Structure 1
Amino acid sequence: MALPGFRKRRSANAANADGSAKGGASANNDAIIKQLTKTRRNAALVSSFCYLLAFVFLVLVEIGNTKGTKVLGDIYFFKLDLANIIPQSVPSLSLMNSIARTLGLHDFYQVGLWNFCEGYDDEGITYCSTPTNLWWFNPVEILKNELFAGASIPLPNQVNEILNYLHLASNIMFGFFLASTILDFLMIFIAPVVLYSRWWSMPVGIMSFINFILALVAAAIGTAMSLIFKYALTSQSDLNIQVETGTKMLAFSWIAVGFTFLSFIIHSGLCCCCTSRRDVRTGRKGSQSMPAGSMEEKSKTGSKLPSFGRDSTKS
């Protein structure tokens, strides 16, 4: 009767030893996996941080010029200065400009992504239009609405010809900036997925490339639109309109492009480089490093169980 009981106790002890051995081996394997995938994990975290920075700068682009505050009021694509709209050759220049103000014209108009703001040099921004989806800046319509009835300012045909292109470009820029902002926010949380498998690097890399193209095209359109307006209006000496490009708005947009490009480069590299968790577990990579610890544990636990069973049978 003692023999069966002895065999049961030995079997229970063997099970406990096997469980503890497996637990130790599993913990050791997890530590090895973390060590082998450290580079990939760091790269994924860097890409998430880049997406976060790009998102912050794109948010500044989105909310720029929406209010006449000191911070947001200084973020615009370009600014039309009409304070000296009467040409220098006209006598009594100061008197004529004061008359132009009484006709309804403001000293400056500045353009953002959602609206425009207007104001006077001595008062600052006095009014900002309501932010509107797919808004675009139409200087002809705005100036006509600003002037009192019966007053008008002749605009050259060169300005009128670019309005249709400006409308289309503004809508594309608006949509691309908004889409890139949303994608940047989502990619902050999606990017770490590439740590688990190399297969995730391909779709994530495609999303990163699309995000980069959206930000690049939007920033390029905003820059080109500002420069075209500056060239088209300042080249007309009869209008005497000065155009100032918004360095802050353009800088924020191109900084966001830079961070999205860096994230795209990281994800492109992760498609073929850096060991993932799946690579380690399937033995495709890191097989020489991982079994050195895990196989040793398996051999120890595996040799004890058969010998212990045989010894209990002999006894």
Structure 2
Amino acid sequence: MALFRKRNKTSNAIENDKEGGSPANAEIKAKFKRETRTRRTTVGIVAFFYLLAIIFLILVEIGNTSDKPVLRDTYTFKLDLSNILPQSAPSGLTLQNSVARTLGLHDFYQVGLWNFCEGYNDDHGITKCSKPNFAFWFNPVKIILSELLSGASIALPSEVNDILNILRIAFHIMFGFFFGGLILDGVLLIITPIVLYSRWWSLPVGLLSGLSALVVVVGAILGTVIAYVFRAALNSQPDLGVDASLGAQMLAFQWIAAGFNLLAFIFHAGLGCCCTSRRDLRTGRKRGRGMQQAASPASTAS
């Protein structure tokens, strides 16, 4: 009961000074602001983490959608068919700069979340990017067979098709997680400042932050696994002459976004139990040094 009365006295003293417009009002406001400085700083850091995560998730989402700086190098994996080994070829072919060109194929194909781009290893670079599609999936077997010149054929093991079917499902899940994480981070960037006013807000916002971190981390794990499995599946077929490589920049962007989301969640969890909020000061639950000094004259007088 004594503690309850002490809190009420402190709270009433602060409210009376505010309502009365006394000279101490400005001083109390300044001290009030100073005592929540740690929480404000932490909230600002968390919001900055979300902003950075959003930037990198956007780069992940729009990577490889066009032949522009940064975007052209942001792909999940890349196939180099310049030295592909055909099972048969039509007669009368004109020998080009690479085997792939001779067969009617492009030298390389690189894959993003929305589309794929194709091109040549010389000065031409990327020559075409497919139209972005929400339900996109890159099937190299289908692409290769559709572009081969009439009469040419390539030996494609059935195991490759089985692996591609599994990867297709994982690819769509990964895309959904990154897209969902981007939306959640945008929401969290807007609502994060409300945890400054009360630690109670840290619970729902922290749960939402945990969900966002989870989906982005799982998306990054899936993206990494898909890229490595795809590379291993195609490079394990030496008779094809196909060289599959990872998109290091895409993987880096994915894990940087995941890291910032994890950091934001950790800071949110800390805000639930640490750092004085405005509500703590108003109710007297927590009193900083400055607030104790400001409230002591009022308590003595009462």
Normalised TM-score (structure 2) = 0.85
Partner of 1:56: 55
Question: By how many angstroms is 1:299 displaced?
Answer: 6.8
Q: Which amino acid aligns with 1:195?
A: L
Partner Cα separation in structure 2 for residue 102 and residue 239 of structure 1: 15
- Which consecutive unaligned segments of at least 5 residues does structure 1 have? 1-17, 88-93, 303-315
Once the two structures are overlaid, the 10-residue window that deviates more, 157-166 or 230-239, is 157-166
Name the residue aligned to 2:204.
Answer: 203
Paired residue for 1:265? 266
Does the C-alpha gap of structure 1 residues 27 and 160 become closer, same or farther in structure 2, counting only changes over 3 Å? same
1:43 is matched with 42
- Between the aligned partners of 2:262 and 2:19, the Cα distance in structure 1 is 48
Equivalent residue number for residue 245 of structure 1: 246
Q: CA deviation at 1:28?
A: 2.7
- Counting only pairs closer than 5 Å after superposition, residues 150-161 of structure 1 correspond to structure 2 as 150-161=151-162
Q: 1:234 to 1:205 in 2, by over 3 A?
A: same
Q: Equivalent residue for 2:85? A: 86
Residues in 2 aligned to 1:20 and 1:235: alpha-carbon distance in whole angstroms: 77
CA contact (8 A) 1:86 1:96 kept: no
Q: Secondary structure at the match of 1:263?
A: helix
Q: Could you tell me whether the CA contact under 8 Å between 1:86 and 1:97 is conserved in 2? A: no
**What is the match of residue 104 of structure 1?**
104
The AA in structure 1 aligned to 2:218 is: V
Deviations 1:224-243 (A, max 9, x none): 11100111111111011111
Contact preservation (8 Å) 1:25, 1:298: no
How is 1:167-178 mapped onto 2 (pairs within 5 angstroms)?
A: 167-178=168-179
2:115 corresponding residue in structure 1: 115
* Secondary structure of residue in 1 paired with 2:23: helix
Which residue identity is paired with 1:207? L
1:166 Cα shift?
1.2
Identity of aligned residues (%): 54
CA–CA separation in structure 1 for the residues paired with 2:137 and 2:18? 69
2:218 matched to which residue of 1? 217
1:124-143, aligned counterparts within 5 Å? 124-143=125-144
- Give the partner amino acid of 1:38: R
Q: Distance in 1 between matches of 2:159 and 2:23?
A: 78
Give the Cα–Cα distance (whole angstroms) in 2 for the partners of residues 86 and 153 of structure 1: 7
Relative to structure 2, which stretch is displaced further, 165-174 or 152-161? 152-161
Separation of aligned partners in 2, 1:60 and 1:155: 33
**Equivalences, count:** 278
Aligned partners of 1:261 and 1:156: how far apart in 2?
A: 41
Give the SS at the match of 1:194: helix
Q: Is the 8 A contact 1:134 1:174 kept in 2?
A: no
* CA offset digits 1:199-224 (Å, max 9, x no partner): 10001101111110111111111111
* CA-to-aligned-CA distance 1:96-118 (integer Å, 9 cap, x gap): 97454233211000000100000
SS at match of 2:174: helix
Distance 1:21-1:156 versus aligned 2 partners, 3 A rule: same
Match of 2:70 in 1: 71
Tell me: CA distance 1:146–1:27, structure 2 relative to 1, closer, same or farther (3 Å).
same
Alignment partners' CA distance in 2, 1:180 and 1:130? 23
Q: Under a length normalisation based on structure 1, what TM-score does the superposition of the two structures give?
A: 0.82
CA distance in 2, matches of 1:154, 1:118: 21
Aligned alpha-carbon RMSD (Å): 2.3
Distance 1:230 1:20, change over 3 A: closer
1:166-225 per-position Cα deviation (integer Å, ceiling 9, x unaligned): 111111111111111122222222111111001100011011111101111111111111
Match for 1:257: what amino acid? A
- Given residue 119 of structure 2, which amino acid in structure 1 is its aligned partner? G
> What SS does structure 1 have at the residue aligned with 2:110?
strand
Q: Would the aligned equivalents of 2:209 and 2:265 in 1 still touch at CA under 8 Å?
A: yes
Q: Which has the larger radius of gyration?
A: 1
For the 8 Å contact 2:177–2:219, the answer to whether it is kept is: yes
Q: Which residue of 2 aligns with 1:286?
A: 287
Q: In 2, Cα distance between the equivalents of 1:200 and 1:297?
A: 31
